[in-house]
Amino acid sequence: MAALNYPSDLKYAKSDEWVRVEGDIATLGISDYAQDALNDLTYVEYAVEPGAKVAAGDAVAEVESVKASSEIYSPIAGEILAVNEALKGEEDTINADPYGKGWLVKLRLSDASGLAELMDAAAYQTYCESR
């Protein structure tokens, strides 16, 4: 089994989402740990559409594998700019490239304070390895 990746430029939530912040734009996806635990992903459904406002902790999507299902929460507040439609039918992209082409939603940050709650890569790795 290949070692799991924890890119250092990202922030991580306890519920296994990652966030990449560029200016006031945040991209969100699920971590390598999460895709590995879920195994082959077969379905993604978005709970939000572009333009929707979300609060920190709101569900934005649901991902499914053969024998598991997981809700994806936005750890930060903002306005949804885009959802990754390219994943429909190509859900294995999340398994192959969770931090790149496997992103789920992009949002415009309305309140950056939520970011402070998130873990850095080292803390998240420690957290994952203790589970």
Partner 1 sequence: MGYIPHTDVERRQMLAAIGVTTIEDLFEAVPATHRFPRLKLPAPLSEVEVAREMLALAESNEHAQDFALFRGAGAYHHFIPSAVNHLLLRGEFYTAYTPYQPEFSQGTLQATFEYQSMMCALTGMDAANASHYDGATSLAEAVTVALQVTKGKRNKIILSPGIHPHYREVVRTYHQGRDVQIVGDDAPAQAAALADLLDDKTAMLAVQYPNFFGQIEDLAGLAEKVHRAGAVLVVVANPLALGMLKSPGSLGADIVVGDAQPVGVPLSFGGPYVGFFACKQEFVRKIAGRIVGESVDTDGRRAYVMTLRPREQDIKREKASSNICTNQGLMALGVSMYLALMGKTGLRQVAELNYHKAHYAADRIAALPGYQVNRERPFFNEFLVRCPQPVATLNQALVAEGIIGGYDVGQDYPHLAQHMLLCVTEMNPKEEIDVLVDVLGKVK
Partner 2 sequence: MTLRMTMPEQVATPEPLEPLIYELSVPGRVGVNLPVCDVPAAPLPADLLRDDLKLPEVSELQVVRHYLKLSQLNHAIDKGFYPLGSCTMKYNPKLNEDMARLPGFAALHPLHDTEGAQGALALMYELQRWLGEISGFEAVSLAPAAGAQGEFAGILMIRRYHLDRGDTQRTKILVPNSAHGTNPATVTMAGFEVVELPSDERGDVDMNALKQVCREQGSSIAGMMITVPSTLGLFEEHILDVIETVHNAGGLMYMDGANMNALMGIVKPGELGFDVMHYNLHKTFSTPHGGGGPGSGPVGVNAKLKPFLPGPVVDILEEASEPDESPLYGFVMPSKSIGRLKAFQGNFGMHVRAYAYIRIYGDSGIRDVSRHAVLNANYVRARLMDTYKIPYPRYCGHEFVIEARLDGAESIHALDISKRLMDYGIHPPTNYFPLIVPEALLIEPTETETKETLDEFIDVMKKIAVEARQTPELLHTAPHHAPVKRLDEVRAAKQLVLCCAPALPGAAD
Which residues have CB under 8 Å from 58's CB, separation 6+? Answer: 47, 48, 73, 74
Q: Which of 7, 15, 21, 43 binds partner 2 (CB under 8 A)?
A: 43
Min CB(91)–partner 1 separation in Å: 12
Residue 91 interaction partner, one of partner 2, partner 1, none, beta carbon < 5-8 Å per kind: partner 2
Q: How far apart are CA 44 and CA 84, in angstroms?
A: 10
Residue 68 interaction partner, one of partner 1, partner 2, none, beta carbon < 5-8 Å per kind: partner 1
Q: Does 66 bind partner 1 (CB under 8 A)?
A: yes
Per rule CB under 8 A, count of chain residues that contact partner 2:
10
